[in-house]
């Protein structure tokens, strides 16, 4: 080509265009290789994840699932200040303990008779809302004339209905 021709510069444009196409091509290839098939089926997530979560076995069945065999604890708990604290949170998931279909106990349910359980929620922390009942454990026990033993709280508070 004539070195004086203005068209001499078009080859830079072609090079840039080919480079751009190569980048776009590899992005599309990468997308088809790595983005899961069901991505975007319902929204900005993998559609198949919904079915996978639904297929996971249910472990916790809520307070009502205990009522059938523990009506006394259920009634006491539902009427007290701990009504909002789920049985399975302090104990463990129902599936490990009982089978609702044949009404049989499978294995012992954990019972954490320890003040650590109570302190999990009631130990005084600056980060907790001020309106939430919380105590400085040492101070509280001293005020109440009790010793700092591992199961101190249970001498005065029933975990199912602390007042």
Residues that bind ligand HEC (CB under 6 A): 63, 65-66, 68-70, 73-74, 77, 81-82, 84-85, 87-91, 94, 97-98, 100, 103, 105, 108-109, 111-113, 115, 117-122, 132-133, 135, 137, 140-141, 144-146, 152-157, 159-160, 162-163
93 vs 115: CA distance, rounded Å: 21
Please, are residues 100 and 61 in contact by the beta-carbon 8 Å criterion? Answer: yes
CB atoms under 10 Å from CB of 97, counted, come to 18
- Which lies closer to ligand HEC via its Cβ, residue 27 or residue 111? 111
- Which lies closer to ligand HEC via its Cβ, residue 22 or residue 89? 89
12 vs 8: CA distance, rounded Å: 9
CB of 101 to ligand HEC, least distance (A): 9
17: left (phi over 0), alpha (psi -120 to 50) or beta: alpha
CB of 116 to ligand HEC, least distance (A): 9
């Amino acid at each position: 080509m004539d070195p004086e021709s203005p068209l001499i510069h078009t080859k830079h444009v072609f090079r840039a265009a080919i480079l751009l196409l190569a980048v776009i091509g590899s992005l599309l290839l990468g997308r088809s290789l790595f983005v899961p098939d069901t991505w975007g089926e319902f929204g900005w997530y993998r559609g198949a994840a919904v079915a996978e979560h639904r297929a996971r076995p249910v472990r916790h069945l809520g307070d009502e699932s205990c009522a059938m065999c523990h009506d006394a604890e259920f009634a006491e708990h539902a009427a007290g200040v701990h009504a909002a604290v789920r049985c399975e949170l302090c104990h463990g998931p129902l599936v490990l303990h009982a089978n609702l279909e044949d009404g049989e106990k499978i294995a012992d349910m954990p019972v954490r008779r320890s003040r650590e359980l109570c302190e999990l929620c009631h130990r005084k922390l600056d980060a907790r809302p001020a309106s939430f009942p919380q105590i400085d454990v040492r101070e509280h026990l001293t005020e109440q004339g009790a010793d700092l033993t591992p199961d101190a709280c249970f001498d005065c508070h029933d975990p199912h209905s602390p007042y």
